[in-house]
Structure 1
């Protein structure tokens, strides 16, 4: 596990004294393992925040993802598996740039209204959780132990 607490841990832990760490290293560990642990850490952090949100607001259905990292199929599938929710990614993951282009098009008269943009970019890929509940539980338990160690350091 990789706990990226370079400046402490934010939500939902709020532990500025936590320090980043990598657990489970062996002689056989190579850069591929570290890259994978880093991608997985992103998913675990989102899991932590999503669970905190669900405690406050109730169950959440599917999750929508965008941005550069969302183009990684492994990341999106692992996210779906860890969350136990489907993750929906638009084919165009750069929604900020797309939104700016749509606004520019509206501004210069290319489109007459926001209603004309409905359905312009509705293609997507959905990642469905396929991990067993016991494996998910084991992985999340390992993450919690790693976070606990980073906080105690």
Structure 2
């Protein structure tokens, strides 16, 4: 599939700058917080519009997002943090 260059973020977590930067660093791709608080609801609404044949909405395909977070962590530190993150997730599961 190849590398993912950009991931859109929504919900309450998008307001946590530390979490957004850490996630961008761990995933190695840019995170772009959406202006829309809940993209799931917007997606469901857009799917319903398309199902009804309403395809002439000019903003339907527009992707609006806030300034993003780009990976900035040094590779060695990223690897240490990633290993710690995997241990934390394993503990929770």
TM-score normalised to structure 2 length:
0.66
Instruction: Find the partner of 1:139 among 56, 81, 89.
Output: 81
Note the 1:17-96 alignment, pairs <5 A: 57-96=1-40
User: What is the alpha-carbon distance in structure 2 between the residues aligned to residue 71 and residue 127 of structure 1?
Assistant: 12
Gap regions ≥5 residues in structure 2: none
Gap regions ≥5 residues in structure 1: 1-56, 107-111
Give CA-to-partner distance per residue, 1:34-84, whole Å, 9 cap, x none. Answer: xxxxxxxxxxxxxxxxxxxxxxx3322221211222222221111111111
> In the TM superposition, what is the alpha-carbon distance from 1:101 to its structure 2 partner?
6.2
- Asked which structure has the greater CA Rg, the reply is 1
TM-score normalised to structure 1 length:
0.44
Contact 1:65 1:89 survives alignment (8 Å)? yes
User: What is the alpha-carbon distance in structure 2 between the residues aligned to residue 66 and residue 96 of structure 1?
Assistant: 9
Count of equivalent residues:
88
After superposition, the Cα gap between the structure-2 partners of 1:117 and 1:74, relative to the gap in structure 1 and judged at 3 Å, is same
CA RMSD of aligned residues (A): 3.1
